[in-house]
Homo-oligomer: A and B are copies of this chain.
Amino acid sequence: MPRLRTLSDLGEGRLIDRIARAAGRLDRSGVVLGIGDDAAILRLRAREDWVTSTDATVENVHFRWSEQAASSVGRRALVSNLSDLAAMGARPLGFTLALAAPPDLALDRFDGLVRGLVREARTHGCAWVGGNLARADQTSLVISIFGAVPRGRFLPRKGLRSGDRLFVTGSLGAASLARAAYESAGRRIRHVPVPRLAAGRALLGLPGFAACIDISDGLLSDLGHLLEGGALGAALDSDRLPLPRGFGARCRALGADPLALALAGGEDYELLFGLRRRAAAGFSAAALTRRLGVAVTEIGEVTSTPGVTGVPKVASFLHY
């Protein structure tokens, strides 16, 4: 049997060639200069601003090789960045990857990461424009992502007022249920969240829009960021939290608390946003769902009293 090939068998130049070949299959509109020079060059359309965000995915902190396929690690790493663009109402343009890895990392894993990144990038029309390879004891992917918003417009975190209604896209808890299934039953994680890019762009033009964030650390944690650091509060209705189909039964089979996963599990990458009370009253759930292109559920309202009521206290699952 041939020896398993590793990163050090290929060396930096050939690894970059492999990335450049894979990246060459992606949409490159807006890319003036891609992989292969000292830097990448991108161009906006007229009257747009630049949006950029960066996020790290670290071995044994955010993922384990035993837990999911390498391609899924790559996809999820890009999803967390795409979701930051969604939460600003931005359209994606491109990304860079700084990959740090041990020289003995299996080439299959490298190829899997690249395949996952390219697959997710293609789905959302995002180009791979550059990056960096470095040696390290632990594998990590740092992605910087670039997008565009119409000049002067974006979806801020700040802006909620008492009386605003709170909404979430999609459903909550699937990502942490997948992790719970791995942790208690050894089942590999296959779930890959969907960044709500179209919904974010639709929110840019929605009358009565107040504030928006993506749910990366868990609903309660990210709601805390919207509530002006505790100056405001929220009255939630735990019966209205949108849960995936069959979620309760699957949680109970694993001995997990469905509400805890939905409220604090994290990595769902749904959008949490507020609308002024009057604007919210003007939309049916069906109308909002139609405008945003994804199921939208009202889950409560903003209060002038600090603190979150209507849901049980749950512990955070944060990574840091």
**Chain A: residues with CB nearer than 8 A to chain B?**
11-12, 32-33, 36-44, 49-56, 58, 61-62, 84-85, 87-88, 90, 96-98, 100, 129-138, 140, 142, 144, 146-147, 149, 151-152, 154-158, 213-214, 318-320
Residue in chain B with minimal CB distance to A224: B13
Interface centre among A39, A51, A56, A155 (most CB of B within 10 A): A39
- The reply to whether B136 and A58 contact each other, CB–CB distance below 8 Å, is yes
Contact partner of A33 (CB less than 8 A), chosen from B36, B37, B154, is B154
Question: Can you pick out 13 interface pairs between chain A and chain B where the beta carbons lie within 8 Å of each other?
Answer: A11-B320, A40-B53, A42-B50, A52-B96, A52-B146, A54-B130, A58-B134, A58-B135, A58-B136, A100-B142, A137-B137, A138-B138, A144-B144
- The reply to whether B58 and A40 contact each other, CB–CB distance below 8 Å, is no
Given contacts A38-B87, A98-B98, A320-B12, contact A50 B61 (CB under 8 A): no
Given contacts A54-B130, A56-B100, A146-B52, contact A135 B39 (CB under 8 A): no
- The reply to whether B38 and A44 contact each other, CB–CB distance below 8 Å, is no
Given contacts A39-B87, A88-B39, A149-B41, contact A52 B130 (CB under 8 A): yes
- The reply to whether B54 and A132 contact each other, CB–CB distance below 8 Å, is yes
Contact partner of A39 (CB less than 8 A), chosen from B51, B97, B100, is B51
Give the complex CA separation of A97 and B38 in angstroms: 19
Given contacts A38-B157, A38-B213, A144-B96, contact A132 B52 (CB under 8 A): no
CB contacts (< 8 Å) of A55 on chain B: these are: 98, 132
Give the complex CA separation of A151 and B32 in angstroms: 10
A156 CB, nearest partner CB in chain B, Å: 6
Q: Give 9 nearest A-B pairs by CB, closest first.
A: A39-B53, A144-B144, A38-B87, A142-B142, A56-B134, A98-B142, A42-B50, A54-B96, A38-B84
- The reply to whether B213 and A61 contact each other, CB–CB distance below 8 Å, is no
CB contacts (< 8 Å) of A52 on chain B: these are: 39-40, 42, 96, 129-130, 144, 146
Residue in chain B with minimal CB distance to A129: B52
Residue in chain B with minimal CB distance to A36: B157
Give the complex CA separation of A249 and B37 in angstroms: 36
- The reply to whether B136 and A140 contact each other, CB–CB distance below 8 Å, is yes
Give the complex CA separation of A97 and B55 in angstroms: 10
A77 CB, nearest partner CB in chain B, Å: 12
Given contacts A50-B50, A62-B134, A138-B137, contact A98 B56 (CB under 8 A): yes
Give the complex CA separation of A84 and B214 in angstroms: 32
Given contacts A130-B53, A142-B142, A144-B54, contact A135 B61 (CB under 8 A): yes
Give the complex CA separation of A213 and B36 in angstroms: 11
A141 CB, nearest partner CB in chain B, Å: 10
CB contacts (< 8 Å) of A214 on chain B: these are: 38
